[in-house]
Amino acid sequence: MPASSARAVASGAAPLLSIGQVLARLTPEFSDLTPSKLRFLEEQGLVSPARTESGYRKFSAADLDRLRLVLSMQRDHYLPLKVIRGYLDDLDAGLSPTLPGGVTPGPSMLGTVRRLGRDDLLREASASASLLHDAVSASIILPADYYGEDALGVLRALVELQRSGIEPRHLRGFRGAAERELGLIESALVPLSRRKDASSRAKAAEMAVEIAGQLEVVRSSLIRSALGRLTK
């Protein structure tokens, strides 16, 4: 058990959270989080919640931050759990590790969930209302009452692309390409998806992230190769 969880149990200084309370706090940002995935992350040694005398899991505030970090690294950097585990081990040892590619997770990974209204999103991205409308029409950003960091990052990128004459309508094919990649991932997961136990579902979710990461490596390499031809 991490020292933070042990201290929370011993002192009673901070309220501990049940699995249901953890899900309530994290699923607005990580919609695919389920009880089985939480248990799977525990089995993989990425979080070690305290246990009551009856055996119920209880999560501290530090556990919640750790889960948010793990889930963010999976979602934002497509990192496999073994890489994330190594990063966390280094953190626990007092080191200042970086992720593959020199990435250092920023404070936002450990902060509270951000929910941006439309006006807040436009202001933070320095974007026009028409650009957001075009992005939604092109299915680059999905319509919503509130937006998260992903949408903010995409809209900021669209602002920069617009300066180069690239509009959201030029990117309509991106949604189709993403759906085709999803189809590849789903096909690869058929053997696991046929099993109905919670462990298999959690493993399928982890494998999906790993496959998506490998597809990203291939895609990035192809783009770099194409860029090389442009400069010759």
**pLDDT tens digits, one per residue of 32-49:** 888 888 888 888 889 999
Q: Higher-confidence residue: 194 or 158?
A: 158
The predicted-structure confidence for 142-192, as pLDDT tens digits, reads as follows: 888 888 878 888 999 999 999 999 999 999 888 888 888 888 888 888 887
String of DSSP letters for 126-185: T--HHHHHHHHHTTSS---SSB-HHHHHHHHHHHHHHHTT--GGGGHHHHHHHHHHHHHH
Residues 6+ apart with CB under 8 A from 119: none
Q: Residue 212 in contact with residue 185, Cβ under 8 Å? A: yes
pLDDT for res 5 = 47
- Mean residue pLDDT across the chain: 81
pLDDT for res 231 = 64
pLDDT for res 232 = 62
Residues 6+ apart with CB under 8 A from 88: 46, 66, 69, 70
Residue 135: CA count within 13 A, CB half-sphere: 25
Q: Residue 18 in contact with residue 56, Cβ under 8 Å? A: yes
pTM: 0.51
Per mean pLDDT, which of 21-30, 81-90, 118-127, 210-219 is the most reliable? 118-127
pLDDT for res 3 = 45
Residue 221: CA count within 13 A, CB half-sphere: 6
The predicted-structure confidence for 78-131, as pLDDT tens digits, reads as follows: 777 888 888 888 888 888 787 655 555 554 444 445 678 999 999 999 999 999
